[in-house]
Structure 1
C-alpha cells in the first residue's frame, strides 16, 4: 500500500467513524424539533371529519410461561379504555405454557377477558403462529357479530407489557384517517432502576423514539413486537397468516404492509412499558435474535426496490435499517484491524503511514473515545428533556455505559451471522422478572 493509498484509507476510516455522531446530531435535531407533534398536526388536519375511527379493540397478549407477569399484564390491558362507545376486549393466547400461567389466568374472572389455549403440537411454533391463531379467532368472531373489519383494531401487548391509560384513545385519533391501517406507540422500560435497564430505556425512550418520528415523517414507520395496532381489515389483506415465522415477525409485518401501500403511523403521545433484560448473557441472546431476524428480512430488498409504492427517500431509510447489521459488522472489523495494524507497526519499529508515532496512536484513540461517548451523552440530554422522569446522574451513567452496550450489540451481530449461516433458528424464551401485583379492574 502506497502512502497515498494509506492516507485515503485513513480519511475513509475517519469518515465512517464520524458518520455516527453526525447522524446522531440529525436525529437529535429531529427529536427536539418535532417532539412528537409534527405528525399530530398533519393528522389532525387530514382527519378532520374522517370516519375511520375504530369501534372495537382486541388486545392480544401472547403468553408462553409468563406466570411471573401475566396477571399484571392482563389487569393493565383490561383497564384500558377507548373513546366513548368503543368496546375493548383482551385475548390471551396461552401458547402451551408448562408453568403456572394457566392457573394464573384461570383465577382472573372478567367478562372482557378471553383465553385461548394452544396445546402441542400446534403450540410453541413461534410468536408469529400464536398471533395468527388469535387473529383468525378474532376474524371469526367479527364475522359472526356482523362487524365491519375496518372498524376493528387488533393490538399486541407482550406478556410483560403495560399500556398507558390513553393508548386506545391515541390510536383511535390516528386511525380516524381511513388511510391509516396500523399504528405503533412508543416503548419504554419499567425496571430502569438498574444500569442495563436505564441504558435500554435510553435506547427506546430517546433513540428509537427519534428514529420512529423521522420514519413517521417519511412514511416508513416500522412495527414493534410490543405496542403495535392494526386494523383487522388490513391484516385480512395479508391472508390467513399475517405474521410469519421470521425471528422479528413484527418488522416483516410492517414491510409487507408498506409494500401493500398501507399507511402506518407512530405516536410518542402514548406508550407501552416492558421489562428490560438485565442479565448480560440473556441480553446478548435477545439482541442476537433481533439481528438474525433483521438479516432474514433482507430478502425483501428486491421487492422494495421494485415497488412503486415506496418512495425513494423512504426506500433509502429502509435500506439503512435492513443493512445496518451487516455494515456494522464490516466497519467494526476495519476499525479493529486498523488499530491492531497501527499498534503492531509501532511495536516492531515499522509504523504504518497514518499512525506514524505513539502520539498519533494516542490521538486516534482519543478521537475514537470522543466519537463513541458523544452520542450517548447527547441522547441522555434528549431523554431528560422529553420525559423528565429520571435524574441526570442516572441518565449520564447510562450514557457512559452506552458504548459498551453497542459493543455487546456488535457481538450479537456476529453471533447472528454465524447462526444464520448455519441455519439455526430455535430460540429460548426471554425470562421475566417477578413484579408487585397490580389491582385488577372491577
Structure 2
C-alpha cells in the first residue's frame, strides 16, 4: 500500500468516525434505562436558595424571578437571591416592583461590581451561608443557579431533592433547553443542548463525570463551603471549573434528565461567536486541572478518560475542521480541473462515490440529531427538525471559528469577561404567594 492509498484510507476512516460516534451517542440515549433517583419522600427535607446573577437584565429578570418563586413547594421551600451586579439600566426598578418576602436583592456597586459571574455568585453564596449558619441549617440548604433568562420547569425541585437523598451527591445538573427556538439559530442551540449535550451528560452520569453548566446547577451549601469563601472562580467558565473541583473533592454530580431549565438562544451570529469564544477560552483555562485529575486516586480510569475527552476534544475539533474544509476544497478543485492531485481526489467514475461519502459524513450526524429531537421532544414539526439537522454542520463550523478565536485571545492575554445580551420578552403571570 503506497503513501497516497494510506492517506486516503486514513481520511475515509476519519470521515466515518464522526457519523459513527454520533450514532452510538444517540443510540445510547434510547438504549439506556431512564436514569432517575428512587423516591425518598420527605426523609431528607431541603431548602432551596436560588441565585440569579443580574447585570443589565431589565428585559428578562422579572420573568426569571417570578418563575423561580413559582418553584416553591411544601417539601421544597424556595428563597430567591438576585445579585444586581452594578446594572445601569432599569434592572433595579424592575426588581423593586416585585413584592415578595422570599425575594432578596443584593446590589453590588463599582468598583466591586462587574468582575464576572463568579464574583457575583460568590457574593450571594456568602450571604446565604451566613444566614444558614446563623439558623443552623447548612446541612439542609441547596444553592441553585439560574441565569437571568432562565425558566425552571414546574416540579423540577422534587426530582432534584430525590437525587440529594444520596449523601455522596454534592451537586445536580439539570437539562437545558432553548425557549425561543422559532429562530433557526436558536433552534440549532436547542438541538445542541437538548439532544447532543443531553446524551453526553447521560453517558457521563453512568461513568461519574457529569459536568456543571452555568444554568440549572444545584449544589449543596455544605459542598460549596468545603471549597472555601469563593467556590466559583474568575475562570471564564466558572461552572466547568466548579464541577471539576467537586469531583476532585470526591463528591458525585448527578444529571437530572427530566428537571429542565429553559433559556434564551442567541439569534445573532456575532453574539453567538462572542459567547462561544468565552466558553472556549474558559475551557482552555481549565486544562490546568489535567495534572490534578491524573493524580487523583479516587477517579477511575474510565472516568479519567472521559474527563480528558471533554477537556481536550474542543481543541481537536478546530484543527480537524480546518483539515476537512481544506480536503473538501481540494476535492472541489479536483472535480473542476479533473486533476487527481497526486491521487488524493477521486475523479472519473469514482467521483460520485467519493462525493456521496463526503456528503454522508458531513450531513448524516445533523439529520440523525434532528430525528432524535423530533422523537424525543415532539414539539417541532419533522420538516423543521430535519432542516435544522441539515444546518448543523454550519453550526459546528461556527464553533470551530470560536475555538480558534479563543486560542488567539488566550495566548494574547485577553481575558475580559463578555456578558451575553438578552432579547425582550412578554411578561409572565405573577408568582404564587408563599404558603
Conserved 8 A contact 2:40-2:162: no
In the alignment, which residue of structure 2 is the partner of 1:113?
103
Shift of 1:122: 0.7
2:116 pairs with 111, 120, 126, which one?
Answer: 126
1:4 aligns with 2:8: no
In the alignment, which residue of structure 1 is the partner of 2:25?
27
Conserved 8 A contact 2:334-2:347: no
Conserved 8 A contact 1:150-1:234: no
Moved more, 302-311 or 332-341: 332-341
Q: Equivalent residue of 1:121, what SS?
A: coil
Shift of 1:54: 4.2
1:74 aligns with 2:72: no
In the alignment, which residue of structure 2 is the partner of 1:14?
12
**Could you say what the CA RMSD is over the residues aligned between the two structures, in angstroms?**
1.9
Where do 1:8-407 residues align within 5 Å? 8-34=6-32, 37=34, 39-40=35-36, 43-44=37-38, 53-82=44-73, 84-147=74-137, 149-341=138-330, 347=337, 351-357=341-347, 360=350, 363-407=353-397
Moved more, 4-13 or 85-94: 4-13
Conserved 8 A contact 1:92-1:114: yes
Unaligned runs of 5+ in 1: none
Shift of 1:315: 1.2
Deviations 1:384-425 (A, max 9, x none): 222111111211111111111111111111111111111111
TM-score, reference length from structure 1: 0.93
1:252 and 1:420 map into 2 onto residues whose CA distance is 17
1:275 and 1:365 map into 2 onto residues whose CA distance is 37
TM-score, reference length from structure 2: 0.95
Conserved 8 A contact 1:258-1:309: no
2:75 and 2:396 map into 1 onto residues whose CA distance is 46
Query: Number of matched residues?
Result: 431
Conserved 8 A contact 2:275-2:418: no
Deviations 1:125-160 (A, max 9, x none): 10001000100111111111121x221100000000
Shift of 1:340: 4.5
Shift of 1:335: 2.3
Conserved 8 A contact 1:70-1:160: yes
Conserved 8 A contact 1:190-1:275: yes
Conserved 8 A contact 2:174-2:216: yes
Question: Structure 1 residues 295 and 359, CA, compared in 2 at 3 Å: closer, same or farther?
Answer: farther
In the alignment, which residue of structure 2 is the partner of 1:419?
409
Deviations 1:332-352 (A, max 9, x none): 232233344555667495722
2:291 and 2:16 map into 1 onto residues whose CA distance is 30
Conserved 8 A contact 1:81-1:165: no
1:359 and 1:424 map into 2 onto residues whose CA distance is 51
Conserved 8 A contact 2:116-2:417: no
Conserved 8 A contact 1:191-1:197: yes
Moved more, 367-376 or 120-129: 367-376
2:423 and 2:383 map into 1 onto residues whose CA distance is 25
